[in-house]
Amino acid sequence: MDTADTLKLLSDPTRLRLLRLLVTEELSVAELQDILNMGQSRISSHLGLLRQGELVEDRRDGKKSFYHVNRNLAPETKSLLQVVCDSFDKQEQAKSDSQNLNRILDQRRELSEKFFNSVAENLGKYHCPGRSWEAIGHFLLKLTPSIVIADLGAGEGIISQLLARRAETVFCIDNSKRMVEVGTDLAGKNGFANLHYKYGDIENVPLKDEEVDLSLLSQALHHARQPIQALREAYRILKPGGQIVVIDLLEHQFDKARELYADQWLGFSQNQLYRWLKEVGFEQIEVSVVAKETKEPFFETLLASAVK
């Protein structure tokens, strides 16, 4: 579009008022009606011309359309638009438009604040579309630093497959040869050269002393014959200052877990897990219940962390 056509579009006071607002904020047709105190058809007609002239763009969001100034305007057109808008700023109508725009933006903020004020005490129980523990887990895994990790009792290594995206090296230790085979194939298919599966017992880990930065035991400790020995091994392979993270079941009375899941232990109490970590030599120990299932037998999950 040449300069003459652009100037022709800018010569109309209503279109100039629209552009001045859309330079500042993306707005819906209804919001523009409220700010300019004009009918929908009049505003839509002017927006259509501005869109044809490639000065504005629209974005569909559900049933609404939001308009904003074209972000890819040529430098000369952008400069021309800025000069014209600056000159219009001095007029009384511009001051009124700015006041109405601020009122609309305040209404947006107040509506959002009102909602969150109403659910503040129950936000954790309130349905929030798109928010799930799975999504949060993926989000947090993106924060994994470039460190060496040992996933003890890893199984096929679901967690390790995610950690390997950012970690320097991940070792998966499991006492099932078939699990090691499956995990190794999966790592190859996903292209993880830094993900290594090793056959071995978590009570006799096939890694060197002080080889890793993080020892991870995710729902593995209750499968150990001697859980405290598994914690000793996790401590041994950690570098000084390294961390252990344990996710496991809180003690329960669901005895069928032994035959259903090959569990050796029916979970652990918070105090028991704390004492074992302390006895092994860990410091800065934290143990807490972080989840509870809503269906019988209502398993609860412990999360423990400590530093060597």
Which DSSP helix (H) or strand (E) runs through 279? helix 270-280
- Out of 6-10, 100-104, 224-228, 277-281, least confident range: 6-10
DSSP calls for 19-78: HHHHHH--EEHHHHHHHHT--HHHHHHHHHHHHHTTSEEEEEETTEEEEEE-TT--HHHH
Please report the pLDDT score of residue 112 as a whole number: 78
Cα–Cα distance, 185 to 159 (Å, whole number)? 15
Q: Which pLDDT tens digit goes with each residue over 154-183?
A: 988 888 988 999 999 999 999 999 999 999
Q: Which pLDDT tens digit goes with each residue over 133-154?
A: 677 677 777 788 999 999 999 9
119: pLDDT strictly greater than 70: no
131: pLDDT strictly greater than 80: no
Mean pLDDT over 249-277 rounds to 93
Q: Which pLDDT tens digit goes with each residue over 269-290?
A: 999 999 999 999 999 999 999 9
Give me the amino acid identity at 101: L
Please report the pLDDT score of residue 10 as a whole number: 86
Please report the pLDDT score of residue 214 as a whole number: 97
Please report the pLDDT score of residue 120 as a whole number: 63
Global pTM reads 0.65
Mean pLDDT over 64-76 rounds to 90
- Main-chain phi, psi angles of 48, to 5 degrees: -60, -40
Instruction: Please name which of 116, 19, 112, 113 lies closest in space to residue 70, comparing C-alpha atoms.
Output: 19
Per-chain mean pLDDT for the chain: 90
Cβ distance 167 to 194 under 8 Å?
yes
Q: Which pLDDT tens digit goes with each residue over 86-112?
A: 888 888 898 999 999 999 999 988 887
pLDDT band for 57, please (50, 70, 90 cuts): very high
Please report the pLDDT score of residue 41 as a whole number: 93
Please report the pLDDT score of residue 22 as a whole number: 94
- Domains, the chain: 3-120 (1.10.10.10), 133-307 (3.40.50.150)
With b for 16 or more beta-carbon neighbours within 10 A and e for fewer, the 34-68 pattern comes to bbbeeeeeebeebbeebeebbbbbbeeeeeeebbb
Residue holding tokens 């993306």?
A: 26
